[in-house]
Chains A and B, each alone.
Chain A
Amino acid sequence: MALQTIRAQKLKSFFSLIGVLIGVMFLIAVVSIVQGMNVYMEDQFANRLIGLNTFQLRQMPDFTMGNVTREMWMSWRRRPRISYSDADYIKARVTTPATFAMYCADREPLAYNGKMAKDIALVGTEDTYFKIKNYEVVSGRAFSPQEVRAAAPVLVLGDLVAEKLFAGQDPLGKEVLIHGLPYRVIGVVAKQGNLFGLSMDKFAVMPYTAPARRYICPINILDEVDIQTAGPTQMQAAMAEVEALMRARRGLKPAQENNFHLQTAEGALEGWKKISKILFMALPGLVAISLVVGGIVIMNIMLMAVSERTREIGIRKALGARRRDILAQFIVESATLSTVGAALGIAFGIALAFIVRALSPLPAAVAPWSIGVGVGLGILVGMVAGVYPASRASRLDPIDALRAE
């Protein structure tokens, strides 16, 4: 019966659907996208930027989101930097099996045959870095421990750099200039793709000992030591060891804080986690607003329906409909409307999530609970919005109602 009436009043029904539809659509879409971002941040951001089961010994964090005060920043800047000897000290003493890579980087221009590639992340490191970053060298080769020891002027390029400088030519064996210093290209790393729309292929890797190191780090100084372990538990163990070793080496008293930083993917994600928590807290508010608006629209439509269908109500009452029959009829009608709205909202929300997935790198996944919540809210809004018009309808006097035009 409810469906019949709804079908007969398509346009009005459509408008009242829209309110609930938008609310539920946003609920589904936003939940999917935020969860997708969570997955993305954890899988892509952290593991690609830092490496799987990897942590970094640094002077200070380089991924900071959220509250870093000026004082904190200043005190970080006053800390001693990480030196070659720090790295050697740790490598020699950590007992947990781990792979170490000394690391130093800055943005530098690379030149080849008159062409210039600016702002390339020039990384000075060890041969182990390729394993830690999971860089696959698709053409040529990575440099060897011997080349690191010999400070050989060799270079492994990121895909975009190779493309930019050599445009289709084979870069292997060619000579690239860094501030006039000649480097021989010995390999190219497989394409890494984008992260937040930024290319992950704008880099060049050389031995940290090579001559151009003076452009990226002061002598004997490193940005960080990357330490990769076999799994999460090993990583915890290695982190504890490194912390103890560094504290002992720097003569810190128990009351003193660390004057170095151990950066993990987890830690780098802390800022993001705060953001996503805020999004999830703001979400109910947003959805509530659109559902309240939807509810008001439905209530208006139902009030209009009551006054338009006064005569019908009179007929039904004359034929023996009790108040609760009329009440039930109108509540069921508005609940049906909003349920249909919620169903469409779910469909649109899922569609939106898929569009986001298709057009962006976010793996937006629809959370089953959000569908349940969407349906529940839709029905609830319809029933609440239906109660007032329905009670108006049920209280109509049958004689007046029958006389209505």
Chain B
Amino acid sequence: MSDLVIAVRGLTRAYEMGAEVVHALRGVDLEIRRNEYVAIMGPSGSGKSTLMNMIGCLDTPSGGEYWLSGQEVSRMADDALARVRNKEIGFVFQTFNLLPRATALHNVELPLVYAGVSARERRARGEEALGRVGLTDRMHHRPNELSGGQRQRVAIARALVNRPSILLADEPTGNLDSTTSEEIMRVFADLHREGQTVVMVTHEPDIAAHAERVVVLRDGRVASDVRHQPIAA
């Protein structure tokens, strides 16, 4: 039980769009254990983005419970959520979301700034994280001086720098060509092998095939939850 990282029970989320109420999630149950590699799939409108925002603590549910690393996140206020995002979650986005005017190293250091880590330690840990994704020689480049794959690896280094409980990736290869996508998937596989819990939202079956478990959402509910042998990256 102690290796349960994510526990979601009866999670609902409704949005008011004018007079209409849109039910994005209609009661999701999901448990993810330490060192699992999970892909969340589903057609658009299935609620996978909403679920991803819930798991990432960017949004709070209308009903149900969400426990992350033993803390009930679903009842937390803004600043507490920020703290959880900072400590427990490493985001990797489809569009990389790097600060364009900051160097790779500075981008990677950013979560540590908000964690209150000293400048010297930030630098050391930032350099180490960039080393893990093989970008030691690109540390002082800005995002526009890097290729798409390199940018995404900077984003991964940034996600890892605070040693989060989960690496949460939203369409991480959506903006990359297939060769670069494979390269990023290899990085994910390596991190998984080293013990990292990875949760990835994707609509591409090829990408989802890299995970060892695939959860499919449909109409705001879990439609299927299958374990399989991941393809080698």
Interface residues of A (CB under 8 A from B): 4-5, 8, 311-312, 314-325, 398-399, 402
Is A315 within 8 A of B79, CB to CB? no
Query: What's the minimum C-beta distance from A312 to chain B, rounded to whole angstroms?
Result: 6
* Choice from B82, B86, B93, B162 contacting A402 with Cβ under 8 Å: B93
Chain B: which residue is nearest A319 at the CB level?
A: B111
Is A321 within 8 A of B82, CB to CB? yes
Query: What's the minimum C-beta distance from A339 to chain B, rounded to whole angstroms?
Result: 21
Looking at A312, A324, A398, the one whose CB has the most chain B CB atoms below 10 A away is A398
Chain A: which residue is nearest B86 at the CB level?
A: A320
Is B83 within 8 A of A320, CB to CB? yes
A323 cross-chain contacts in B, Cβ below 8 A:
78-79, 82
B83 cross-chain contacts in A, Cβ below 8 A:
320, 322
Complex Cα distance A311/B95, Å? 11
Chain A: which residue is nearest B170 at the CB level?
A: A402
Q: Which residues of chain B in 166-199 are interfacial with respect to chain A, using CB atoms and an 8 Å cutoff? A: none
Chain A: which residue is nearest B102 at the CB level?
A: A4
Query: What's the minimum C-beta distance from B120 to chain A, rounded to whole angstroms?
Result: 17
Residue B136 interfacial (CB < 8 Å): no
Interface of A is mostly: helix
Chain B: which residue is nearest A402 at the CB level?
A: B97
Is A319 within 8 A of B56, CB to CB? no
If A322-B79, A322-B83, A323-B79 touch, does A398 touch B58 (CB 8 Å cutoff)?
Answer: yes
B85 cross-chain contacts in A, Cβ below 8 A:
317-320
Query: What's the minimum C-beta distance from B160 to chain A, rounded to whole angstroms?
Result: 12
4 further contact pairs, Cβ within 8 A, besides A315-B97, A318-B91, A402-B58: A318-B97, A320-B87, A322-B82, A323-B82
* Choice from A5, A314, A321 contacting B114 with Cβ under 8 Å: A321
Complex Cα distance A315/B158, Å? 11
Query: What's the minimum C-beta distance from B199 to chain A, rounded to whole angstroms?
Result: 15
Interface residues of B (CB under 8 A from A): 53, 56, 58-59, 78-79, 82-83, 85-87, 91, 93, 97-99, 101-102, 110-111, 114-115, 158, 162
If A319-B86, A320-B86 touch, does A5 touch B101 (CB 8 Å cutoff)?
Answer: yes
Is A325 within 8 A of B114, CB to CB? yes
Complex Cα distance A79/B118, Å? 85
Is A315 within 8 A of B59, CB to CB? no
Query: What's the minimum C-beta distance from B84 to chain A, rounded to whole angstroms?
Result: 8
Looking at A311, A319, A323, A325, the one whose CB has the most chain B CB atoms below 10 A away is A319
Complex Cα distance A322/B114, Å? 8
B79 cross-chain contacts in A, Cβ below 8 A:
322-324
Is B93 within 8 A of A319, CB to CB? no
Q: Which 7 A-B pairs have the closest CB atoms?
A: A320-B86, A320-B114, A322-B82, A319-B111, A322-B79, A315-B97, A320-B85
B97 cross-chain contacts in A, Cβ below 8 A:
311, 314-315, 318, 402
Chain B: which residue is nearest A7 at the CB level?
A: B101
A319 cross-chain contacts in B, Cβ below 8 A:
85-86, 91, 110-111, 114, 158
Chain A: which residue is nearest B84 at the CB level?
A: A320
Query: What's the minimum C-beta distance from B168 to chain A, rounded to whole angstroms?
Result: 10
A315 cross-chain contacts in B, Cβ below 8 A:
97-99
* Choice from A8, A314, A316 contacting B110 with Cβ under 8 Å: A316
Query: What's the minimum C-beta distance from A373 to chain B, rounded to whole angstroms?
Result: 34
Query: What's the minimum C-beta distance from B32 to chain A, rounded to whole angstroms?
Result: 20
Chain B: which residue is nearest A314 at the CB level?
A: B97
A314 cross-chain contacts in B, Cβ below 8 A:
97
Query: What's the minimum C-beta distance from A69 to chain B, rounded to whole angstroms?
Result: 69
Chain A: which residue is nearest B115 at the CB level?
A: A320
Query: What's the minimum C-beta distance from B137 to chain A, rounded to whole angstroms?
Result: 23
Complex Cα distance A302/B111, Å? 24
Is A399 within 8 A of B59, CB to CB? yes
If A312-B99, A325-B114, A399-B58 touch, does A317 touch B82 (CB 8 Å cutoff)?
Answer: yes
B101 cross-chain contacts in A, Cβ below 8 A:
4-5, 8
If A398-B58, A399-B58 touch, does A320 touch B99 (CB 8 Å cutoff)?
Answer: no
